[in-house]
Structures are given as C-alpha cells and as structure tokens.
Amino acid sequence: MNFLQYSSDKKKLTIKPNSLTATSRNFFFLLLVFLVISIAISFSIIGAWLIIPFSIIELSFIIFAFKWLKSHSTDFEEFIINNDVISVRQKVGKVVNNTNFNLHWVKLLTVKKSHKNRVYFSESGKMHHVALFIPEYMSNSFVKELNFWIGFNKSNFIGH
C-alpha cells in the first residue's frame, strides 16, 4: 500500500487513498449484480418468489454504495512547498480546500481525539486537520516522515 507520492524535486507530496480503479470497481459491481440476480431467479423458480423484492432492495443499496465510492475515487491531499510557504490542498468528494502555512512557524501535532490519533498543522493558534487518508496505525510514522520532509526542504533554502 503506497499512499505517499513525492514529486521528482521533493517539493510536492501527494496522498491518495487506496481504492479500486474504475474498471475493477465496475467489474466487481457487475459481479455482485449477477450474483444477486441469479440467486433471486433460482429461488423464484423453486417457488420462493418473495426473495425478488428483497433482492431489489439489496441491489439499491449496492448501487448507492458504488456511487459513493465513485464520488470519492478522486480524493487526495497535496502538500506543496514553495519558497517559505507550505500549501495544503485537500479534495474530499466535491469539496476542495486550500490552506497556506508559513514553513518556519508551522508545527506538526498529533492529537488524540475520540480514541484516534489525528494529525494537525498548527500556526498562530489555528489548527488544520491533515493526513485525512492515512490510516491510524500509520499516523505516527507519517508524522515522522512529514517532519523529515519539511526539515529537508527548509534546509535547501538559500541562506540556510
């Protein structure tokens, strides 16, 4: 599972959640539809026709779930360092958020909320939730890697 993608110049870090490709998702959907319909037809042939309405309900839930998966298949989180600013761009569903932080003042924090570790950028008293797509078991190692990456880019500035 590779969540992190660095650009060639190490100035951009992209996080994308692992998800099925469009082809795999469509194949899996069609496989589920075929399975549900074949079971419904088999049972209706032997006289248990009442399974057909429940199969329709099941298919409607499957359609809803796959539409939700499709709407979130392009989600990402991007960290871009340009001079002394780190920009965080997050896309969740149809909503895109852009936030900028001064690279020299920003702190990376891990806060335990609701029994889960959350990763935040903190600057001038405001906190911004980052690492939305990193699983909880990877949050500590991600914080170490992000701190190293930010430190690496700070040290490459002219005059440092």
Which pTM was predicted?
Answer: 0.71
CA dist 123 and 75 (Å) reads: 25
CATH of 4-17+74-155, one of 3.90.660, 3.30.67, 2.30.29, 2.60.40: 2.30.29
* Domain limits, the chain: 4-17+74-155, 22-71
Q: What is the pLDDT of residues 115-127, one digit of tens each?
A: 778 888 888 888 8
pLDDT over 70 percentage in the chain: 87
Do 109 and 128 contact (CB within 8 A), yes or no? no
The two three-digit tokens of residue 113, written as one number? 């909320």
Number of Cβ within a 10 Å radius of residue 101: 22
Question: Reduced to 3 states, what is the DSSP secondary structure of residue 5?
Answer: strand
pLDDT per position as a tens digit, 71-99:
888 888 998 888 888 899 999 888 999 99
Tokens standing for residue 104:
């020299």
